[in-house]
Amino acid sequence: MRITDPLWPAVREISRRVLKASKVNFIFPSEFENQIHEFDLTVQEHIPSRIDSSLFTISTTQIWSIHTMQGTIIASPRDSSDFSYVYVPLNCHEFLVQFFNCCRELLEAGYPGCEDCIQDGSSTYWNEENNRKELSQSLA
């Protein structure tokens, strides 16, 4: 996914939240369990201080989501009136491909680094309502 893709900011925000979280629960269909486990190992290699492994819960329906102790990061199917999580209009497989790629790029660049080492703008407030407005305009 290129930086010019209208979905890029949302996928990047989800990736940032997951990489900064200490306890992540992936709720996905069973066919994605190995990919998520491999992802978790990669994260632990890049962030040795992250001692909690991610949890994987098998979804028995087509509903999938990612949760942290702070709440839901992404969920599908999506309630468009709920701004408590990031909206990405992709199916499960497409999302994971883009999510894994973005996380890999962030990890290779040294993200998340040390907390509060520099003010790089990465801790800025995410406005989900604005994200959805911009997405609907760019995808229309």
SS3 per-residue string spanning 41-107:
HHHHHHCCCCCCCCEEEECCCCCEEEEECCEEEEEECCCCCCCCCCCCCCCHHHHHHHHHHHHHHHH
Closest by CA position to 14, among listed 134, 101, 114, 119: 101
Task: State yes or no: pLDDT of 124 exceeds 80.
Answer: no
In angstroms, the first-to-last Cα distance of the chain is: 19
- The answer to whether 48 and 88 have CB atoms below 8 angstroms apart is no
Name which residue leads in pLDDT, 113 or 138: 138
Task: State yes or no: pLDDT of 79 exceeds 70.
Answer: no
pTM of the model: 0.82
Residue 39's pLDDT band (boundaries 50, 70, 90)?
A: very high
Neighbours of 138 (CB within 10 A): 10
State the pLDDT at residue 115.
56
> 20-37 pLDDT, tens per residue?
988 899 999 999 999 999
